[in-house]
Amino acid sequence: MTGYTEKNRMLIAVDCIIFGFDGETVKILLIKRDIEPEKDKWSLMGGFVQAGESIDEAAQNILTSLTGLNGVYLEQLRVFGNPDRDPVERTVSVAYFALIDINKYKKQLNHRFHAEWFPIKEKPPLIFDHEEMVETAKTYVRYKAAHHPLLFELLPKKFTIPQVQSLYEGIFNIQLDNRNFIRKLTAANLLIKLDEKDKLNSKKGAFYFKLDKKRYKTNFPNLLSFIPKGSK
């Protein structure tokens, strides 16, 4: 036991990076910090791991207590352990990220801690090393999205091609050529065209589509040639 008692102790925290898509814009969910230091500044959802909790359980519990969101899939990103990352006490943080359809969880979200969605490009400055966490999460999401049909999980059951294009442009921070994108998406044979149209966003209306789940895993790589290398 001597080997344990002679070691330095430190706190373990969890921070959750929640990306969402509302059908038009990719956003990030932030809260206002309610304690010093940096009180009332914008932060990721975070808290400390409690005795008797696993790291995964702590991530789920912290997210629910701060935002009211339940049933959100969280994936562990990496550990952030710079010695001076927290000015109060030595704290190691395990970061998690999630991608959600904002409209699906809109009714769950509570605003007790001022949880608010911000467009990725318009988010306010964040406390501590949370900016680094967000950038790391964005890089990882782009990597996964370029190798797996991950982003289609953010779309509702029926969606328009402009919505798909907006989603990819938001995640990869790029401007896609409209005609080329439609051609690539059509050629991939991933979508089933529906008779119904979305007439809220244009007079002519855009046809709704749904994902062909039998094809999308095998044909998905055909879609990715439109993403420029080195997109940020």
> Per the omega criterion (within 30 degrees of 0), is the bond before 37 cis?
yes
User: The pTM is what?
Assistant: 0.86
* DSSP sequence for 55-79: HHHHHHHHHHHHH---S---EEEEE
Residue 40 has φ and ψ, to the nearest 5°, of 70, 10
pLDDT of 180? 87
Distance from C-alpha of 216 to C-alpha of 128, rounded to nearest angstrom: 40
Q: What distance lies between CA 37 and its chain's CA centroid?
A: 26
**DSSP letter assigned to residue 51:** T
pLDDT of 205? 79
Residue-wise pLDDT for 27-47, tens only, equals: 999 999 988 999 999 999 999
Residues 28, 99 contacting (CB under 8 angstroms): no
Residues 215, 189 contacting (CB under 8 angstroms): yes
Residue 153 has φ and ψ, to the nearest 5°, of -70, -20
Residues 40, 131 contacting (CB under 8 angstroms): no
Nearest Cα to Cα of residue 68 among 23, 113, 110, 116: 110
Helices and strands: H and E segment counts in the chain: 7, 9
Four-residue CA torsion sign, 29, 32, 35, 37 = positive
User: Which residues are registered as beta bridge partners of 96?
Assistant: 16, 76
Distance from C-alpha of 20 to C-alpha of 120, rounded to nearest angstrom: 10
State the burial class of residue 37 (Cβ atoms within 10 Å of its Cβ: 0-12, 13-18, 19+): exposed
- Delineate the domains of the chain, giving CATH numbers in brackets: 2-145 (3.90.79.10), 150-226 (1.10.10.10)
Distance from C-alpha of 28 to C-alpha of 43, rounded to nearest angstrom: 11
Over the chain (232 residues), the average pLDDT of each successive run of 10 is 77 96 94 92 96 96 92 94 94 96 88 88 96 96 81 86 91 89 82 87 80 73 58 58
pLDDT of 231? 58
